[in-house]
Structure 1
Amino acid sequence: MDQRNLEREQANGVNGQQQPSANERPPQIFKLNVDYFEKVFEYLSIRDLHSFGQTCTRMQKVAGYYYKEEFSKDLFHHDSEFDGFREYVEYMGTGKEGVDWNKFKSVKKIYFDVLCTTFIEKIPKEILNKIEEIECNFCTPQFFEDVLVHFPNLKSFNFGFSANDDDWLTRKYPKLEHVSWISLTGEGKSAGKLQTFFEKNPTIRSFEMDPMTICSMGTSMAKAKLDDLYVDLFQSHLDRIPVETFRTVTQFLYDKGAFKRIHLTIHANKCSIGEYTKWKSPFSLSTVHTKGIDLSPLVHLGELGFPQFQSAHKDFVNMINNPALSKGLENLKKLYFWEAHIDNILPFLHLSPKLEKIIVEHEILKKPVFIDPVALNRERKKLSEQLASKGINVSKVTFFIPESNYLETKWKTVDTNFKFIEIRRCPGEIL
């Protein structure tokens, strides 16, 4: 029996539970198995689910199992009031000492404000051995001297600090697969060490860098064998980096096989996307501001994101209505909004046959606040019927929306899963 089925049986009270005597009559609700409870839990908020789990030991296991299946990868702050879920949390955030680590038995990913060796030494070794991913705003250089001792199974590391602290690039990390390194200087002093890093760490599959660092020492990445290269472009970078330089370096790396896909995040009011996207490789684009940005040159676009509210901009409407853009959206698979009007989302259901996922993280800004899955399914079906004669299949879209919108939708429509559309609760932070 695999671990998942074992946990399911334990939640059902089948495995390891003391059975009632012949004279005892357990409550009728105990006769229900986890499947029935899961149907009920779809209508509950995180707060209500936690309250349900506080009623008795059996219900705590049932609610905990559902939390583990649906929410364990959401960011859970260590001092959250929902203490009944702590043993199931996989992703926790902390910026303080004094955490009762023994309550977080399932943690695999941690977010730190500041990462230093003295703080890490207070975490039990059995928990450190489980950590696969770390995110932090700042880490001390000394930490890297002991990282292999503290986190032997580390697979992903996201951090930022001065490029002067670059000795970590000379070490071998046997299981590391992803690094996000945002240099504060963007100088090329670490070029030799960066080349050494990729030579010693062939397990690295994705890397995130700032464009200044790429342009100053990107050629030292020629021996990398990445699946994905992530780049954040801010207005200050766009003002300082010649378009031709950035494009030449990244095209060189792509031709050398250093990466398969490039992912751009544009943080700028104005940008000539066409100048930055003349690559032969598939890429994704995430924009913070659409004003002044023409997306029509995009022909390999796999992901598109709008991390700030765009719907009020007329440029957004003009951009979506641009006939030239429809060609670029044919390969779109993932769409992200911080917040949006539902009317801004509908065009993508009509233009992107390969679209599989839409995420609205913060708020749907149009009343009624519930989402009509029947209407969305009908709109997606229209595209399927239009493309059927051409032999083009249309993907089912999973639509992730905030909890408030999801619960309003679930209570009013009941069924949220159809042939072309499924509505689900968006992952988030548990405070």
Structure 2
Amino acid sequence: MSNPQKIPKLSHSDNQNYNEDAIAGPSNMESPPKIFNLTIDSLDEIFEYLNVRDLHSFGQTCKRMRKVAGEYYKQNYISAEKYGRRDGIYTKYWDKDGVVGEETEISVFGPFMKCITFDIAENERFPLKLYSDENFEGPLRYAASHIKEFKSIDHISLTRFSKINHHRIKFIEKLLPQLESIKIDRSKITCNFYEVVLKQCHNLKKMLFHESSMIEKKWLSQHYPKLKHFGILDEDQHRFDELSEFFVRNPTLRTFLTNFSILWKNREIFLNATVKLNTLVVYKGNIASLDGSLYLNQIVDLLNQLHEHGFYKELHIHVDRLYQGFSALMTTLPALKLLYIEELKQCYDLPQLTNLEVLIINFSRKPNVKDCEMLANNLIKLERLEIGQCESIYTIMPFIRRSRKLNKIIMKGYNVHNCSSRGIGGALNLTMLDKERAKLDRARKITIYVRDDVFLATKWAFKNGETNLSHIEMRRMDSR
């Protein structure tokens, strides 16, 4: 089995009540279909060979199969994007033949989902001229009519709302008490957000506001007893004087996300804060703005001051590219543990960051294998590697051969069309990767996360569908 955790076996009493759940068949006196003679582990293995569209078809056959397929979905698609639409819940799917990025319905798995996105401007079934409040609110209306099914939802994202007001929140109001995470993305809050939303979120652990405006910020002066992660990412609003009181009232905060502009404009608040963070995440932003190179030096000095004052222990930085001068300055940040680069031209542009544990990169051009070897040699503490444009397994091979502490590789841009000439019928050559990893003394086992098309192609290509070898394991990317 390649999925990280076994699906719990159904109890004997459940099996006795099986006929009550079955939809097929004219009578409860009939014997159950032979497929239910299989163990849960056997069904689990069958599901390993299916894309999410076929898994959804399985789940539609009867209530019992909905439960079994739903449990598999919950474990193996936990991080998959799920969108509320006017007529159901949808996601994108890939299959082993290279059908990529098509949207498919997964509404039957509603009771097993933990997160959902309501993108109110994403309504492709209606031309722009037909947009109305009813059309815009369609996804919310569907959620309201199926609210009892969303018993496991603990994270919602409200995206591209022209206005978030009391009227629209009413549709999902019953979800609020069970929520642990809320993300407001590219939206405008036009209500008293604390009274309408946050006051009802008793279990809230995470809040993120991304490029979203708000009429008032009184909610920043409130106490959230379970809040651990909080972020404001907004290029237009630089001053947040309310953050001073927010940090005082929420001393249990562990992670704070922001961008370079907000960090710099509010530096006095951060330097005087008494909160002790585990992680400071400085997200994508125009770090080359304001005073140019002077600003870069100052921002690095500020980050080190905050670290010395105990404001944070660990630093994560996300940038769109490596700016001139900033690359060398990163070596003076001892707390830097994670680096995300949206566009990396050459491996040698990245300095020797000996303390880095996580590297997330998107190559703007096909990388040279020797450059990747140099990069693997420099990052001696690397534990996780994420690569966007990865057209060949030889891009990751230097890390498999040299990075002892590496235990996760996420290959986001790898697909069956890219790897068909490198593997077996579009599959990853896990046997070769396993042999190469075995040559490195005292090396950790690596789990490679791939898109569904690569996962399925590999399952179908290898004998017995083996994806878990001695030194290399492959899993679905959405199972993370």
Q: Please indicate the TM-score interval, normalised by the length of the shorter structure.
A: 0.7 to 0.9
Partner of 2:141: 98
Distance 1:85 1:12 in 2: 23
- Would the aligned equivalents of 1:131 and 1:151 in 2 still touch at CA under 8 Å? yes
- Would the aligned equivalents of 1:110 and 1:131 in 2 still touch at CA under 8 Å? yes
1:112 aligned onto 2:167: no
Partner of 1:395: 444
**Selected match of 2:331 from 266, 277, 280:** 277
1:267 aligned onto 2:316: no
> Per-residue deviation at 1:351?
2.5
**Pairwise mapping of residues 402-417 of structure 1 onto structure 2 (< 5 A)?**
402-413=451-462, 414-417=465-468
Distance 1:290 1:33 in 2: 48
1:215 aligned onto 2:286: no
Distance 1:74 1:67 in 2: 10
Distance 1:86 1:22 in 2: 27
Letter in 2 for 1:197: F
Q: 1:330 to 1:261 in 2, by over 3 A?
A: same
Letter in 1 for 2:198: L
**Selected match of 1:85 from 106, 109, 118:** 109
Q: 1:184 to 1:282 in 2, by over 3 A?
A: closer
1:181 aligned onto 2:255: no
Structure 2 residue runs without a partner (length 5+): 91-104, 121-138
Distance 2:280 2:29 in 1: 65
SS at match of 1:195: helix
**Selected match of 1:305 from 336, 360, 375:** 360
TM-score computed with the length of structure 1 as normaliser: 0.86
Q: 1:267 to 1:73 in 2, by over 3 A?
A: closer
Distance 2:7 2:352 in 1: 51
Distance 2:467 2:412 in 1: 18
> Per-residue deviation at 1:48?
1.1
1:320 aligned onto 2:369: no
1:427 aligned onto 2:473: no
> Per-residue deviation at 1:418?
1.3
- Would the aligned equivalents of 1:11 and 1:58 in 2 still touch at CA under 8 Å? no
- Would the aligned equivalents of 2:18 and 2:64 in 1 still touch at CA under 8 Å? no
> Per-residue deviation at 1:11?
10
1:379 aligned onto 2:436: yes
**Shift >6 Å, 4+ stretches:** 4-7, 19-23
1:135 aligned onto 2:170: no
- Would the aligned equivalents of 2:434 and 2:472 in 1 still touch at CA under 8 Å? yes
Partner of 2:14: 13
SS at match of 2:61: coil
**1:241-269 C-alpha deviation (Å, 9 max, x unpaired):** 52221111111111111111111112126
**Selected match of 2:282 from 223, 227, 231:** 231
1:344 aligned onto 2:390: no
Letter in 2 for 1:38: D
Distance 2:47 2:6 in 1: 19
Distance 2:287 2:406 in 1: 31
Partner of 1:254: 307
Partner of 1:145: 194
Partner of 1:41: 47
SS at match of 2:82: strand
Q: 1:258 to 1:11 in 2, by over 3 A?
A: farther
Partner of 2:36: 30
TM-score computed with the length of structure 2 as normaliser: 0.78
Q: 1:378 to 1:102 in 2, by over 3 A?
A: same
Higher RCO structure (Cα 8 Å, ≥6 apart): 2
**1:37-88 C-alpha deviation (Å, 9 max, x unpaired):** 0011111111111112222332222212211222244221123222211121
Distance 2:205 2:312 in 1: 18
**Selected match of 2:245 from 166, 185, 196:** 196
> Per-residue deviation at 1:168?
3.0
CA RMSD of superposed structures (Å): 2.9
Partner of 2:341: 287
Distance 2:193 2:29 in 1: 62
**1:322-371 C-alpha deviation (Å, 9 max, x unpaired):** 3xx44531111111122312211111112311111111224343324210
1:354 aligned onto 2:405: yes
Structure 1 residue runs without a partner (length 5+): 385-392
Q: 1:278 to 1:44 in 2, by over 3 A?
A: same
Letter in 2 for 1:279: L
Letter in 2 for 1:106: S
> Per-residue deviation at 1:24?
4.1
Distance 2:16 2:312 in 1: 48
SS at match of 1:122: helix
> Per-residue deviation at 1:32?
1.7
- Would the aligned equivalents of 1:195 and 1:223 in 2 still touch at CA under 8 Å? no
> Per-residue deviation at 1:143?
4.3
SS at match of 2:404: coil
Which is worse superposed, 94-103 or 4-13? 4-13
- Would the aligned equivalents of 2:7 and 2:40 in 1 still touch at CA under 8 Å? no
Distance 1:203 1:343 in 2: 44
**Percent identical:** 28
**1:6-57 C-alpha deviation (Å, 9 max, x unpaired):** 9742699337545899974333222222111001111111111111222233
